[in-house]
Structure 1
Amino acid sequence: MFRSIARTDNAEFELARDLRHIEDVWNEIATGLPVYWQKFLDRLRPPASDVIEILGARVQQEPSTQADGVLLVSAFDVAVEEFESEAAKYREFFDEGAIEEYEEDPNAFKHLMTRELPVIARTLRQSNKELKEWQKKFRLARPADLLAVFTNVLDFYDEWSANHSVVAYKSYNAPAEFQLAPINDDENLNIPGVIGMGIKTIVLFHKDPQRMPQLGRFALFGLYFLSGRKSFGMISDSSEFLMINDETKAANGSFVMDQNYWYPYDVFSLYLLRIYRWISSKAAEQGFGVDDQRRYVYVERFLEAVCAEHLDDMKTMRAHDSFGIPA
Structure 2
Amino acid sequence: MNEPIPIKEMKKKLDENFPLLLKETFGILESENLTLGGMRVVQDNKKEIKELKDKVKNVEDEIEADIKECRYHFSDENLIAMEEDLDAFKNNVFGEKLWTVRSSLRDMSNPELERYRDSFDNATPREIYVCVKEILNKSKEYVKEKFTKIDMRRVLKIEDLQLDYLDDEDLLLSGVIGLGIRSELLYRMYPKVFPIMTRRSLWGMYFFTNADEFIIDENKDGRSRTSHQWNYEYPRFCFYANHLTLLLEKKFQNYKIQMNQDLRYGYLNFMLVEYAKTKKKEIEKLYTWEYTGLN
TM interval, shorter chain, is 0.7 to 0.9
1:306 aligns with 2:289: no
Amino acid across the alignment from 1:224 = Y
What is the aligned partner in structure 2 of residue 222 from structure 1? 204
Match of 1:124 among 87, 99, 105: 105
Q: How does 1:1-327 map to 2 (within 5 A)?
A: 1=1, 12=3, 16=4, 21-42=6-27, 47=37, 63=39, 65=41, 69-113=49-93, 116-119=96-99, 120-127=101-108, 128-166=110-148, 168-171=150-153, 172-183=155-166, 185-227=167-209, 229-230=210-211, 239-247=212-220, 253-255=223-225, 257-319=226-288
Of the two, which has the highest radius of gyration? 1
* Structure 1 unaligned blocks of 5 or more: 3-11, 49-62, 231-238, 321-327
Amino acid across the alignment from 2:284 = K
Amino acid across the alignment from 1:92 = Y
Aligned residues of 1:29 and 1:223 also touching (Cα < 8 A)? no
How many equivalent residue pairs?
A: 277
Aligned residues of 2:36 and 2:48 also touching (Cα < 8 A)? no
Aligned residues of 2:71 and 2:189 also touching (Cα < 8 A)? yes
* Structure 2 unaligned blocks of 5 or more: 29-33, 290-295
How far does residue 131 in structure 1 lie from its aligned partner after superposition?
1.3
Give the SS at the match of 2:240: helix
In structure 2, do the counterparts of structure 1 residues 68 and 215 end up closer, same or farther at CA, with 3 Å as the change threshold? farther
Distance 2:273 2:217 in 1: 21
Amino acid across the alignment from 2:178 = G
Percent identical among aligned pairs is: 21
Aligned residues of 1:150 and 1:189 also touching (Cα < 8 A)? yes
How far does residue 42 in structure 1 lie from its aligned partner after superposition?
4.1
What is the aligned partner in structure 2 of residue 5 from structure 1? none
**152-161 vs 31-40, which moves further:** 31-40
Distance 2:190 2:201 in 1: 17
Q: Which has the higher contact order (CA 8 A, sep 6+)?
A: 1
Aligned residues of 2:87 and 2:125 also touching (Cα < 8 A)? yes
Aligned residues of 1:76 and 1:301 also touching (Cα < 8 A)? no
In structure 2, do the counterparts of structure 1 residues 221 and 269 end up closer, same or farther at CA, with 3 Å as the change threshold? same
Give the SS at the match of 1:258: strand
User: TM-score under structure 2 normalisation?
Assistant: 0.84
Distance 1:180 1:196 in 2: 16
How far does residue 224 in structure 1 lie from its aligned partner after superposition?
1.5
Aligned residues of 1:45 and 1:71 also touching (Cα < 8 A)? no
How far does residue 46 in structure 1 lie from its aligned partner after superposition?
5.2
Aligned residues of 1:41 and 1:71 also touching (Cα < 8 A)? no
User: TM-score under structure 1 normalisation?
Assistant: 0.76
How far does residue 311 in structure 1 lie from its aligned partner after superposition?
2.1
What is the aligned partner in structure 1 of residue 31 from structure 2? none
Distance 1:316 1:74 in 2: 35
